[in-house]
A and B are shown apart, each in its own frame.
Chain A
């Protein structure tokens, strides 16, 4: 069975500082990995995804993530935080191609001036 662990339910970063959100997964087969962002009282929006190929994936809003098979990780980073990055971020994994995603518990990001 697949599972996702996001380390840290809340992260506080200063504006302009590095954003690092950690995600570890378990999967019995090569996984499909996703990061989504959610603003208050809204749906989820895809930031980026890894299916096959290059392990460093670039997404929207300056975010990127690196798939590390040996560490079973898919951490999300952004070099310089912006106030608009304040939101909740979800890591998700799928073991097959038909979209039944397993979501992590989420990490709330607060950006301070």
Chain B
């Protein structure tokens, strides 16, 4: 079945450590997105990529980095510069940047800083 796979589902990190969250899609979608979800704040856009080897900062990019070396993969690194990284992270994709269709979401990764 086609879809978006995020891993790991749960992750614990010590302060000062970088962690990388994986996002893989087999939907042949062009665009991919990373959102951060905190209680009562909805979803906030971290980074997005419309094509391979290109990505743009979203609304809260500080302390995060991404890469888009393959169409199906869009990993997110939470660096030690992110002061409050504990959150639920959601990866999403869509068919193309001109499409008005829906975003497809992964199941999310919950990061907890100890």
Contact = CB atoms under 8 A, between A and B. Distances in A.
A98 B42 contact: no
Interface stretch (A13-21, A69-77, A78-86, A100-108): A100-108
B98 A97 contact: yes
Contact of B98 (A46, A98, A101, A104): A98
B42 A99 contact: no
A34 B102 contact: yes
B84 interface: no
Interface stretch (B14-22, B64-72, B75-83, B105-113): B105-113
Nearest to B38: A105
Contact of A43 (B42, B44, B48, B107): B107
Counting chain A residues whose Cβ lies within 8 A of the other chain, the interface size class is 20 to 34
A34 B100 CA distance: 11
A26 to B, nearest CB: 15
Interface string B1-37: 0001000000000000000000000000001010100
A4 B48 CA distance: 20
A56 interface: no
Interface of B: 4, 31, 33, 35, 40-45, 48, 50, 58, 88, 90, 92, 94, 97-100, 102-103, 105-108, 110
25 contacts: A32-B100, A41-B88, A41-B108, A42-B108, A43-B108, A44-B43, A44-B103, A44-B105, A45-B105, A46-B102, A51-B100, A90-B42, A90-B43, A97-B98, A98-B31, A98-B50, A98-B97, A99-B99, A99-B103, A100-B45, A101-B45, A103-B42, A103-B43, A103-B44, A105-B40
